[in-house]
Amino acid sequence: MINSLLQERYYTYNDLLALNDGNQYELHNGKLFLMAGASQFHQEIAGEIFRQLANALFGKPCRAYHPPFDVRLYEDTVYQPDLLVVCDRSKLNGKCCNGAPDFIVEVLSDSTSGIDKTMKFNDYLESGVREYWIVDPKDKTVTAFRLIDKIYEASSYAENDKAPVQVLDGIEIDLSLVFSM
């Protein structure tokens, strides 16, 4: 649970960096959100997607990253997606991605499902994340949102599909491997 005293003030990215209480936080419009630890299944799903992405991107200019790696969308809005891909290296400063990555994946969990589907969805859309995947471990599905004319168009994929990463030419994720965990 987030200490209510922490919420009596507005936080920026520099404030977030200065916190040293042993917890991991995300920041939305100046408010802190305590991050819950990920389950083994959550880690295995994110890890398999990362493995496939990193292998497919080997030798290419785009790079895949996983937490803890901050995505600073705005001075007061910072997330740590389950994984992300950045193609414009000028957005990287060694600690974080400043601005919208090209691709973000969030794996749903009971404690973050609502945030991933609403708050983060809206922030990723508004900031210009070109493709956003929501991975549902319970249903073994992926909903892929691709930014077209400032709106997200959705495509859905099931556990045995090969899901194309639309913003990364020729790259697809074999979901049978992702959900075989």
* pLDDT for residue 4: 37
Chain segment 17-47, per-residue pLDDT in tens: 999 898 899 999 999 999 888 889 999 999 9
* pLDDT for residue 181: 72
Domain residue spans of the chain: 39-178
* pLDDT for residue 111: 86
- Look at strands 70-74 and 96-98 and give their pairing: parallel
- Output the pTM of the full model: 0.93
Read off the pLDDT band of 6 (50, 70, 90): low
In 17-130, beta strands by DSSP E: 25-28, 31-34, 63-65, 70-74, 77-79, 83-86, 96-98, 103-107
- Right CATH for 39-178 from 3.40.50.1820, 3.30.160.100, 1.10.10.10, 3.90.1570.10: 3.90.1570.10
Chain segment 132-157, per-residue pLDDT in tens: 999 999 999 999 999 999 999 999 99
Whose tokens are 């491997």? That residue is 177
80 torsion bin: left (phi>0), alpha (psi -120 to 50), beta (else): beta
